[in-house]
Amino acid sequence: MPTLPEKAQQIVQAHAGLIHRVVIACQNRAMVPDLEDILKQAQDNGWTDLVGSIRKILAGQREVGAFRQLDEEDFIIIESILLGLQNPATLPDLSQEFDANMAAPGLAAMIHAARGGSLEALQLVANMATQMLQAGGDMARIAGIVRPLVTGERDADKLCQGMSDAGQKLVLGILRELAKVEGH
């Protein structure tokens, strides 16, 4: 995948599973039987503009200019899908793991804000968990601990259960960052 600015790279990597599924579905819809369920779930979680744009791509829209009205994150995802359709070598690496040092502070901040009652943060955390669940592996396991983290669970052994070293590193990083922002 070509080098993107750091923020764009993180967005693309966080949505790698969805991006790949849409590109595959554009080539052969039967290869992605769960896409409609994923799109419905994303729409239910408030990603209506993104889902509408993905549906346009599935219907044949390939002009990037048609999507300029999207917010930054949605546009980056759509642009990655369109680039992937033109050149599969630009697709994000599905095997690349999150950099725990980069991801933990952002995740912890969102979890802390959601715990504090921010509806916007709660929606962002829910959307993030949905994407992580779709990615599978440790990301799906981390999606499963988001709610306990929001409700106050801080037992590292319990939260890290069944995760690889990389997953544990991310969870421990989140816990460290939460301890900082919670004043513990």
**Amino acid at site 112:** H
User: Tokens 């995948």 correspond to what residue?
Assistant: 1
Contact 1, 90 (CB under 8 A): yes
Assigned token pair, 109: 């901040």
Q: Check: pTM over 0.75? Answer yes or no.
A: no
pLDDT value of residue 100: 56
Q: How many other CB atoms sit within 10 Å of the CB of residue 101?
A: 10
| DSSP string over 104-130 | HHHHHHHHHHHHTT-HHHHHHHHHHHH
Angle between helices 48-58 and 35-44 (to 10 degrees): 150
Compute mean pLDDT per 10 residues along the chain, 184 residues long, and list them.
Answer: 66 82 86 81 84 96 94 93 92 66 72 85 76 73 89 95 88 91 79
pLDDT value of residue 1: 45
- Measured CA to CA in angstroms, residue 146 lies from 133, 143, 173 at distances of 11, 5, 14
